[in-house]
């Protein structure tokens, strides 16, 4: 004789499996993380390394893989493209009063005697990476003085935006990333 409950016992787990599959498929995809790394062993060989694009809404992580005892601290600073130093002469001039480099130092409340920053993270505008330093206003920036330090923020800039970035300590250490 067969047990009349057998089909129900088989049907319930199958229905649960189907429902779980539907719930998982309907769940929103989690945001990814794109990483830019600060690399180099000497002042003259410093670079940002990483992809050239990031999805709007994803996290953008910045990591310091350099030895600050050899190359000093860094900033990851968004700035208007027109303010980006392009030559060695531009880089030297960036340390003059009223320039984007000194604006970054002031924003971070940098102690010029010790090299220590009073403010590490500066996030202007929407929470996340979106606002560049301009001639007249502060933008988003992060200060790092230790190997292995990192930060991560959501990219809140609109799709189509090109985020230009640089290190205010090493002004020719720069790049750009397009928001998709």
CATH numbers and ranges of domains, the chain: 33-179 (2.60.40.420)
Per residue in 154-172, pLDDT tens? 999 999 999 999 999 999 9
| Cα–Cα distance, 131 to 137 (Å, whole number) | 10
Of the pLDDT bands very low, low, confident and very high (cuts 50, 70, 90), residue 5 is: low
| Cα–Cα distance, 140 to 133 (Å, whole number) | 7
Predicted pLDDT at 120: 97
Q: Identify whether the C-beta of residue 63 lies closer than 8 Å to the C-beta of residue 38.
A: yes
Helix residue spans in 30-130 (DSSP H): 68-71, 88-93, 100-107
Predicted pLDDT at 43: 76
pLDDT at 32 over 80: yes
pLDDT at 19 over 70: no
| Cα–Cα distance, 77 to 83 (Å, whole number) | 12
Q: What are phi and psi of 150, to 5 degrees?
A: -155, 165
3-state secondary structure (DSSP) of residue 115:
coil
What pTM, to 2 d.p., does this model score?
0.82
């Amino acid at each position: 004789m067969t047990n009349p409950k057998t089909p129900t016992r088989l049907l319930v787990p199958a229905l649960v499996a189907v429902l779980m599959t539907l719930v998982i498929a309907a769940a929103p995809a989690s945001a990814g993380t794109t990483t830019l790394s600060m690399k180099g062993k000497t002042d003259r060989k410093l670079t940002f390394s990483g992809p050239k694009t990031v999805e709007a809404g994803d996290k953008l992580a910045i990591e310091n893989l350099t030895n600050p005892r050899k190359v000093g601290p860094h900033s990851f600073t968004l700035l208007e493209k027109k303010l980006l130093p392009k030559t060695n002469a531009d880089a030297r001039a960036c340390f003059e009063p009223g320039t984007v480099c000194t604006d970054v130092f002031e924003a971070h409340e940098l102690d010029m005697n010790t090299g220590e920053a009073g403010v590490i993270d500066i996030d202007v505008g929407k929470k996340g990476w979106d606002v560049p330093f301009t001639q007249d206003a502060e933008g988003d920036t992060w200060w790092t003085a230790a190997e292995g330090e990192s930060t991560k923020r959501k990219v809140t800039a609109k799709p189509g935006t090109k985020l230009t970035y640089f290190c205010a300590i090493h002004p020719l250490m720069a790049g750009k990333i397009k928001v998709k």
